[in-house]
Amino acid sequence: MVEDIASVVRDLSSLYGVNSVVVLNSEGEKIYSWHRTEADQRRFQLSGKDIKDTFDINKEFIRLAGGDQLRNVILRGRENIAVIEQSGSVIVFAFTDMRANLALLLIRVRRVAENLAKRFGGALI
């Protein structure tokens, strides 16, 4: 299963500027993670729960504002971009530096999340 996930994630991890990709199940458990370098891996301190909680807080925020279903969360820092996307029971997190093309990043994160949800029938264990 890890090889299957890696082959789908490669569409995102090959994008210029992407430093880390994490795949979670709907419970926030890490199923797969990829980091461009060992330094990126050492710096990465988020848990699956941190990522899922951030998505869930924003989902509630959109609901309270009168919006509909949350598609993704985009966080932009001075030097980095973080994107969280959910499709079915799959949550995909990508962390990039500012060199990444934001439009292309959003397209690829969405595509990876949807492909993983389809490939695994919406259920990752």
How far is it, in rounded angstroms, from Cα 6 to Cα 22? 11
User: pTM for the complete prediction?
Assistant: 0.92
Set out the domains of the chain in order of their start, with CATH numbers.
2-119 (3.30.450.30)
Q: Residue 119 burial by CB count (10 A; 0-12/13-18/19+): exposed, middle or buried?
A: middle
Residue 119 pLDDT level (bands cut at 50, 70, 90): confident
Residue 123 pLDDT level (bands cut at 50, 70, 90): low
Tens-place pLDDT, residues 55-110: 999 999 999 999 988 999 999 999 999 999 999 999 999 999 999 999 999 999 99
| Tokens matching residue 10 | 């490669």
Q: Residue 62 burial by CB count (10 A; 0-12/13-18/19+): exposed, middle or buried?
A: middle
